[in-house]
Structure 1
Amino acid sequence: MNSKKYILVCITLMLSFSVFSQQGKQKRADTLFNKFSFVKAAEVYKDLIANNYNKDYATRKLADCYAFLRDPRNASRYYKNVVKQKNVPIEYYYKYAQSLRGMKQYDESQIWLQRFKDSGGVVNANDFSKDVNFISSVFGAKQQYFLDRVRFNSKYSDFGAFEQDGKVYFTSARDEGVAIKRLYGWNEQPFLDVYVTDAKSKKNPDFTNKVKGDINSIYHDGPVTITKDGKTMYFSRNNFNEDVEIKDKRGLTNMKIYRATLVDSVWTNIEDLPINGDNFSTQHPALNMDDTKLYFASDRPGTKGGSDIWVVNIRPDGLLMDLQNVGSVVNTESAEGFPFINNEGVLFFSSDGHTGLGLLDIFATIKDEDSDEIVDVINLGTPVNSNADDFSFSMNADGINGYFASNRQGGRGSDDIYAFHRIPVLHVEGVVTDAINGKPVPNAKITLFDKEENQVAYMETDENGYYQINIDRNQDYKIVASQDKYIDDYRTFTSKNIQTELITINANLLLNPVPDVVKLAELNTTNLGYEKNLTSDDSTSVKNAELKPIYFDFEKYNIRKEYALELDKIVKLMTVDYPDMAIKIEAHTDSRGTFEYNDILSTNRAKSTYDYLISKGVNPSNIIEYKGYGERRLINECADGVVCDEAQHQLNRRTAFIVVRME
C-alpha cells in the first residue's frame, strides 16, 4: 500500500470512528431524554451541536429539554434557531410562542402563535391568545395579594406549603442529611420528601424536620393535605409501597395518592387508594372545607388534556365514591394541577392552558349563585403569577394569608415557596327601607360619592331593597338613596383605618314617603338642587311662597337686601310651616378668579347664608351642611376662557337649597 492510499485509509477510518462516536452520543442523548433525564441529555445535545452532528435535530431536542426543565430563557434561545430551520414542524412555532411568553415578550409571543395558527395549527379554546388585552388588564388590575418573607426555602425545589394548627407542611428536595444521595434524573435533584416546621420559626428546617412516620420513602413523596381534625393525611408518592416500585408500560413510575393516619404523633398505616392506577398518575391531593371531598390531578382515562382536576366523595367510613372530572370550565387541553379549596368553597388550581402571564399560572373559580356550578375562572394576576411557573396555592383558614410556589427569577432554589397576605375587596352594603311601614324599597337609586362629591358609582336596589357596591379602602364616602315617591336619605362613612379582615361596611338607609302633590321645586327650580314634595294641605302656602333667585355681587358674599326678603320666606317655611324640614346650603361662584380663591369665596357665601337663617330663628340642627363649591358647578357655558356678559356670570353666583328631610 503506497503512502497516499495509507493516508486516505487512515482518514476514512478516523471519520468513521468520529461518525460512530457522534451516533453513539445521539443515541445516548435520546435515551436520556426518553428517561426524562433532561439535565444530562441537554449536555450531550450541546456536544452534538458543537460538533455539527445532526445539528437541527439536536437543537430541537435541546430546546425541548429546557422547556421540560421550565427554563424559558434557554428554551427561547434555542427555539429561535429552530423556527428558522427548513421544513420545521409547525408545533415548534407554538413552543417558541410559549417560551417567549415565559420571558414576558408578549407581543413577540403573539406573532409566533399567529404564525402557528396560520400554518394550520389548532389552538385550544382556552389558549392565552383568546384575549389580546389580557396582559394589560391583569397588570392594570387593583392588587389584592402582597408577598411576605419566607424563611424555609433551600437551594433545591421547595413547594406544596400549607399551614394548619400553627405548623407549615411542605415538600422539598433539600435532603442533605443522608450519606448516599439519590438523584431524580429529570432535574438532577434529590427526591422529594415531606417536611414540617413551626409557622413562626425563624430557623431554616433541615432533614431533621421531616414528618415522623412512614410518609417519606426513597422516591418522591408529597405534597400532602391533612383533615381538619389532624388525624388523616392524604399524600402523593411514586407508585412505591412496601419496598416495591411499579412501572407502567412505558417503564415510568407514576404517582399515586396514599392515605395515612396519625398514631401517637407518628404517621403510619399507609393505604393505597382505589382511585389510583399503575398506568396513570394521581397526585396533588386537596380536601374541601368539611373533608367530604378529595380533589386531585390525574391523567387517567377520561382526562381532557395533559392532566385534569378530578374530585371524589369521601364517605364517613373513608370509602371513596362518585369519581368525576370537575369539567371543561376548569380543565383544558393542556395541563391542570395543584387544586386547593378555601373555606368559602372556591377552587384554586394551576394551569398552562388558560389565559396566563407565563407558564403555569394560578387561577380561581367562579360559581353560579343558584346552581353552585363552576361558570368561569379568573387569573389571580401579579404578584402571585409571573412569567414563570406559579403553582401549589394554599390559603389559611383566615382567608388572608397563605402560600404558593414559583420558579421565578430572584428565588433561592429551582422552586421556592412564597408567602402572601391578601387585602380583600371591600364593599358597602345595606337595605333601603320605607321609614313609615318598615318595608324594603325596591328599585331605589343608590349613588356613591367620594369626598369631593364626585359620583363614583350607582345602582338600584333589588326586590328586597338590598344593594352592594365595591369600594376602595382608605377613602371617605357619601351614599345617597333616592326614589320618586320618597325624600332622599344619605349617609357618610369612611373606609379608613379598618381591619384587613373586614370586607363589608353596612350602610342602611331610610326613605320618608311624601304624597304626590305640589313640589317644593315650585319655589324655584334654580334655587333647589332636588325636587321634593310637600303635603297637600300646604299647597296654598307653597304657591304663595315663590322665591326669586338668590344671587351675589361679583367677589362679594354679603346678603343683598332684596335677597334677604327671599331668605325670609325660607325662614318661614322652616320655622312655621315645616319646623322639621332639613336642608343643605350650597353656594357657587362664577369662573372668574383662581380656583382656590373661588373655593374660599363660595364657602363664605354659604356661611353668610347659614348665619342669616340662624339669626332669624332657624334651628341649626335643621341645616345639615353648608358648603362652597367654587366654580365647579357652573350652570351655563361661562367657563374660563369663554367670553360672557355680566348677566351670564351673575347666574353662576348663586345659593342653592337642597332638601334632605321633610317630615
Structure 2
Amino acid sequence: MKLKNYIITSIVLLTTFCAFAQNDMQKKADNLFNNFAFVQASNAYHDLINEGINTNYATRQLADSYAYMRNPDSAVVYYQKAVNQNSVPIEYYYNYSQALRGVKNYEASRKWMKQFKDAGGDIKEQLFLKDADFLNSIFNAKKQYFLKDIKFNSKFSDFGAYEHDGKIYFTSSRDKGDLKKHINGWDEEPFLNIYAIDKNGNDSIVTSKSRLKGKVNSVYHDGPLTITKDGKTMYFSRTDFIKNVLGRNGEGISNLKIYKASLVDGKWKNIKELPFNSNHFSNGHPALSADETKLYFASDRSGGKGGSDIYYVDINNGNYGKPQNLGSIVNTNKNERFPFINSEGALFFSSDGHPGLGLLDIYGTVSDKNDNILSVINLGTPVNSSKDDFSFFMSEDGLSGYFASNRKGGIGSDDIYAYDRIPQLNLNGTVYDSIENNPIDNASVVLLDSNNKVIAKLTTNAKGQYSINLNRDENYSVEVSKDDYINYTNSISSKSIDKNIKSITTDISMSPNAKEMEMKEVVEESITLSPIYYNYNSSKIINENIKVLDDILNTMKNLYPTMTIKIESYSDSRGSEEYNLKLSNKRANAAYNYLINNGISPNRIIENNGFGEENLINNCNNNSNCTEAEHKLNRRTQFVIVKMK
C-alpha cells in the first residue's frame, strides 16, 4: 500500500541506479533494498535464491521486502522459511507473527509471538495471552459502522479522504504525469497528489483537472491534509521539497515534512514549511483539534516510544509550540500514524502496536472531562481487517466518514471506504433523594441486558450524576443501590430512538429506607412513566410512541388499576408562543384520547394541559442553533403520576 513508502518512513527518490559491482548479485539486491526499491529488490533476492547464493540471508531479506510492500500473503511464505533457519535473529519471530495476523492465522501468530517473548523479545504478555478473548470480543461486538460504495477509487493507491465545505479531498497516485521519473521505487506507483471533487457531484469522474488547484501538488509525494474551518489555511504532508529544491539528510534520504498553504482566489498558494520540521526525521499526517488550537501529527523523531508516534503542537496566533508526545497510552514501541480529531475532541489513529486484527488497525480514544486520554479502543469490524486500515475521517455530526484499506476486494493497492455510523446511545442523569431532593453521590448503578447479564457497573459522582453507553434497539434494566436507600429498578429501552439523538436523560429518585410496613408503598413511588415525542409542527401519534403508550396502558390497567395521572404537553421554541400553546394542547389531547380510547377511565386523568414552549429541557431556544434531533426532545408529552393507589 502507498503508506508503506509514504508514512513516516524515509523516502529515497530513485534517479540513476548503478550497482557498485555489476556482477555481485547480493550487493545489487542489498543496494536496491537499502534504497527502498522493494519491488526490484524482491526480484533480485528471488534471483539469489534461484542461484543458490547465500539463500538464508536472501530469504530473510525477501520476507522483509514483502513486509515493507504490505504483502503479508507473500511475506508469510518466506518468514516461515526464515524462522526455521539456525541462529535466526529473534525479530523474525515477531515479523512472522505479524505476517500471520495479516493472513488471519491468529492461532499460529500467538504461538510465534510467545516464542519471540520467550527468546527475550520486548512484548507485553497480554498481546498473546489474551488475544483469543480480544478477537472474540471484536468479532461478536454489535456493529456501529456500515460500509457503502465509493466510486472514485482507482487501480492505484487512494487514501486520506477528508470533507470540507461540500468537497471531498483525497490523496492518490493515479496520475502518472508526463515524466518517468515520477514513478516511486518503493512500489513502482506514481507519486502522490491531492485531489478535490464535489461531494454531491458525479464522484466516479476524477481526472487530472481534479487535482488541487495551486502550488500544493509537486513532482513528489503530497498529502494527506487538513483544512481550517474558515477554509483559508491548509496543512499537508509532502516530501521535503520546496521552491523546487529537494531536501536530503546526510544519507541522501528525503524525509516527510508538514507544510501549510493559503487559499488565494480559489488556488492554494504561499507554501510555507512549519518550524518543527527537520531533515533528520519525518513529520506527517497533520490533523487539527476541534477548536484549532492544536495540530496533531505523526513523527519518527528521536525520543519517542518507538517507530513513529503521535505528537501535537499548540497553535497560538500563528506560532507553533514545542512538539509534545501523546504518551504511552496512545504510543507504543511500534508505529502510530494518521491522527484525526472529531468534532467532540476524540482522537482516532492507526497503529500496529496495539492489539488488533492484523497490520495497521484504526483505534479511538476515551478521555475524561479534562481531555486526558484514559484508554484506546479498537474500532472492530468492518472498519478494521487483517490488512492495513488507516486515514480515518468522521463528519461533523459523527454519523458518516471515510477510511482507507488495502484489504482484499478493492480495486487498487489502497482504496477509500465510506461508512455510515449508528453511534451508541448515551444514558445519563442524576440520582437524587426523593425527600430532600439532594443528589446522591457514590450510588451504585448497574446496567443489565434483557437476559439480566451485567453490562456495566459504575458509581455516581459528587453531583449524583451517571453516564452509560447503550447499544441501540435493545431492552435493558437499571439497578441503583445505596446504603440507607430503597433499591431502585426500572426498565430502559433504546428501541425506536432516532439515530440523530445521541443521549437520553433519566433522573432517578431514590427513597430513604422506611418501616417495613411502608416499604412497598415507597418502592411503588419510584415508578416513572416514559414521555412521547412528536414530529415538527404535528400532534399526530407516530409509530415510535405506540409502544410507550401501550406500556402506560399496561401499567395503569394491570399493575396499578387505581393510579391517577396528569398529562403535560410541550412544543419546541420555533414558532410564536400563541401557536405553540395551541399545538401543545392538541398534543395533550391526542395522548389523552389514545388512553381513553384504549380503556382508561377519564376520571383517572385529572389534568390534561399544553404549556407551549415552557420548560425547555435543553438550551434550544430562539437564539440557539440546534439540530432537529435536539429540538425533538422538547416536542414531548409527559405523564406525571399523581397517585399510585
TM (norm. structure 1) is 0.71
Q: For 1:65-98, what per-residue CA distance to the aligned partner results, in whole angstroms no more than 9, with x for missing partners?
A: 1000000010001111112222222221221111
Tell me, in whole angstroms, the C-alpha distance in 2 between the residues paired with 1:458 and 1:129. 25
Instruction: Give the one of 513, 517, 529 matched to 1:519.
Output: 517
Q: 1:312 to 1:450 in 2, by over 3 A?
A: closer
In structure 1, the residue matched to 2:255 is 254
Range moving further from structure 2, 303-312 or 176-185? 176-185
Tell me, in whole angstroms, the C-alpha distance in 2 between the residues paired with 1:478 and 1:89. 55
Percent of aligned pairs with the same residue?
50
For structure 1, the 5+ residue unaligned runs are: 1-19, 522-527, 534-573, 583-613, 623-658
1:224-263 matches, cutoff 5 A: 224-263=225-264
Asked if 2 retains the 8 angstrom alpha-carbon contact of 1:139 and 1:382, the reply is yes
In structure 1, the residue matched to 2:576 is none
In structure 1, the residue matched to 2:339 is 339
Q: For 1:299-329, what per-residue CA distance to the aligned partner results, in whole angstroms no more than 9, with x for missing partners?
A: 123222121111111112x111132211122
Asked if 1 retains the 8 angstrom alpha-carbon contact of 2:276 and 2:322, the reply is no
The secondary structure found in structure 2 opposite 1:190 is coil
The secondary structure found in structure 2 opposite 1:473 is coil
Asked if 1 retains the 8 angstrom alpha-carbon contact of 2:283 and 2:297, the reply is yes
Tell me, in whole angstroms, the C-alpha distance in 2 between the residues paired with 1:185 and 1:178. 17
Tell me, in whole angstroms, the C-alpha distance in 1 between the residues paired with 2:266 and 2:309. 34
The alignment covers a number of residue pairs equal to 523
Tell me, in whole angstroms, the C-alpha distance in 2 between the residues paired with 1:90 and 1:482. 53
Asked if 1 retains the 8 angstrom alpha-carbon contact of 2:176 and 2:182, the reply is no
Range moving further from structure 2, 485-494 or 346-355? 485-494
Q: How far does residue 338 in structure 1 lie from its aligned partner after superposition?
A: 0.8
The secondary structure found in structure 2 opposite 1:337 is strand
Tell me, in whole angstroms, the C-alpha distance in 1 between the residues paired with 2:149 and 2:488. 47
Structure 1 residue 197 corresponds to structure 2 residue 197: yes
1:154-303 matches, cutoff 5 A: 154-176=154-176, 178=178, 180=180, 182-202=182-202, 203-303=204-304
Tell me, in whole angstroms, the C-alpha distance in 2 between the residues paired with 1:509 and 1:172. 53
The secondary structure found in structure 1 opposite 2:287 is strand
1:344-359 matches, cutoff 5 A: 344-359=344-359
Structure 1 residue 56 corresponds to structure 2 residue 56: yes
Q: For 1:346-376, what per-residue CA distance to the aligned partner results, in whole angstroms no more than 9, with x for missing partners?
A: 111111111111011111222233x532232
Q: What amino acid sits opposite 1:36 in the alignment?
A: F
The secondary structure found in structure 2 opposite 1:184 is coil
Q: What amino acid sits opposite 1:110 in the alignment?
A: R
In structure 2, the residue matched to 1:399 is 398
Q: 1:278 to 1:297 in 2, by over 3 A?
A: same
The secondary structure found in structure 1 opposite 2:323 is strand
Q: 1:519 to 1:446 in 2, by over 3 A?
A: farther
In structure 1, the residue matched to 2:473 is 474
The secondary structure found in structure 1 opposite 2:322 is strand
Q: What amino acid sits opposite 1:168 in the alignment?
A: I
Tell me, in whole angstroms, the C-alpha distance in 2 between the residues paired with 1:111 and 1:487. 52
The secondary structure found in structure 1 opposite 2:392 is strand
The secondary structure found in structure 2 opposite 1:133 is helix
Q: How far does residue 415 in structure 1 lie from its aligned partner after superposition?
A: 0.8
Q: What amino acid sits opposite 1:225 in the alignment?
A: T
Q: How far does residue 186 in structure 1 lie from its aligned partner after superposition?
A: 0.2
For structure 2, the 5+ residue unaligned runs are: 1-19, 526-559, 566-598, 607-640
In structure 2, the residue matched to 1:416 is 415
Asked if 1 retains the 8 angstrom alpha-carbon contact of 2:511 and 2:523, the reply is no
- Structure of higher CA gyration radius: 1
Tell me, in whole angstroms, the C-alpha distance in 2 between the residues paired with 1:435 and 1:472. 29
Tell me, in whole angstroms, the C-alpha distance in 2 between the residues paired with 1:23 and 1:119. 38
Range moving further from structure 2, 380-389 or 298-307? 298-307
In structure 2, the residue matched to 1:648 is none
Q: What amino acid sits opposite 1:340 in the alignment?
A: F
Asked if 1 retains the 8 angstrom alpha-carbon contact of 2:338 and 2:349, the reply is yes
Tell me, in whole angstroms, the C-alpha distance in 2 between the residues paired with 1:457 and 1:235. 41
Q: How far does residue 425 in structure 1 lie from its aligned partner after superposition?
A: 1.4
In structure 2, the residue matched to 1:497 is 496
The secondary structure found in structure 1 opposite 2:248 is coil
In structure 2, the residue matched to 1:320 is 320
In structure 1, the residue matched to 2:94 is 94
Q: 1:519 to 1:362 in 2, by over 3 A?
A: same
Tell me, in whole angstroms, the C-alpha distance in 2 between the residues paired with 1:308 and 1:452. 43
Asked if 2 retains the 8 angstrom alpha-carbon contact of 1:519 and 1:532, the reply is no
The secondary structure found in structure 1 opposite 2:321 is strand
Q: 1:490 to 1:244 in 2, by over 3 A?
A: same
In structure 2, the residue matched to 1:69 is 69
Asked if 1 retains the 8 angstrom alpha-carbon contact of 2:486 and 2:523, the reply is no
Range moving further from structure 2, 171-180 or 497-506? 171-180
Tell me, in whole angstroms, the C-alpha distance in 2 between the residues paired with 1:309 and 1:449. 37
Tell me, in whole angstroms, the C-alpha distance in 2 between the residues paired with 1:463 and 1:58. 64
Asked if 1 retains the 8 angstrom alpha-carbon contact of 2:21 and 2:28, the reply is no
Q: For 1:404-447, what per-residue CA distance to the aligned partner results, in whole angstroms no more than 9, with x for missing partners?
A: 11111111111111111222111333334445554334566767
Structure 1 residue 388 corresponds to structure 2 residue 387: yes
Q: For 1:207-241, what per-residue CA distance to the aligned partner results, in whole angstroms no more than 9, with x for missing partners?
A: 21111000000000011111111100011111111
Q: How far does residue 102 in structure 1 lie from its aligned partner after superposition?
A: 1.0
1:525-536 matches, cutoff 5 A: none
In structure 2, the residue matched to 1:366 is 366
